[in-house]
Amino acid sequence: EDQVTQSPEALRLQEGESSSLNCSYTVSGLRGLFWYRQDPGKGPEFLFTLYSAGEEKEKERLKATLTKKESFLHITAPKPEDSATYLCAVRSYGNNRLAFGKGNQVVVIP
Amino acid sequence: NAGVTQTPKFQVLKTGQSMTLQCAQDMNHNSMYWYRQDPGMGLRLIYYSASEGTTDKGEVPNGYNVSRLNKREFSLRLESAAPSQTSVYFCAGGTGEYSPLHFGNGTRLTVT
């Protein structure tokens, strides 16, 4: 069974204070790891897909990295608009579904 | 381009009542999914449809049924609602085995 654990559950940052979110996973064979952003009252919004260890993707202040056991979402010099819950999900070979972690709730204080 | 559209946005039911949650997509997704999201539990898969005409159970299927009406539409039915089904329900669609899922904005259901 695919498993995803995200830490920390909640994080408060000062504006400009960089930090990282962790997503540890266990799968029988990784087909893809996905990061989403979710704002209150909205559905998850797709950010990145990572397929193999060593891969990195960037978008504005966000950078996602992948190893064989975990992924990190680095937030560089965050702004208040980066406040959201960030969700990590994995898909394994032979599996149509995504298994999600419980999320990292990030609050950026001006 | 609407993406994934869910109706209704909000619903209150009494225990034992039935209802159908509707989902439609215009992104040509082959696969469609129903998840529920509860505080502290994350997103859990209820049912999914890998292609038109097929449906499969996810982690938490008890108390629910689904219909893949055509390629665009995937509905979720609660035959006899229970307070434990109070949740936010999300529909999602996907195109291929390496592609992400794209979500609607959810239906917030309260069962009293």
Q: What is the pLDDT of residue B36?
A: 98
Q: Give the Å distances, CA to CA, from B82 to A80, B13, B23, B72, B108.
A: 39, 9, 21, 28, 14
A44 contacts B41? CB cut-off 8 A? no
- Which one of B89, B101, B102 would you mutate to disrupt binding with A, by most A Cβ within 10 Å of its Cβ? B101
Q: How far is A60 from chain B (nearest CA, A)?
A: 20
Residue identified by tokens 């998840």 is B35
Q: Which residue of A has its CA nearest to B58?
A: A97
pLDDT in tens, B19-53: 999 999 998 999 999 999 999 888 999 999 999 88
A46-81 confidence digits (pLDDT tens): 999 999 999 999 999 999 999 999 999 999 999 999
From CA B7, how far away is CA A59, in angstroms rounded?
A: 31
* Main-chain phi, psi angles of A62, to 5 degrees: -105, 140
Q: What is the mean pLDDT of chain B?
A: 94
Q: Enter the tokens of residue B15.
A: 């225990």
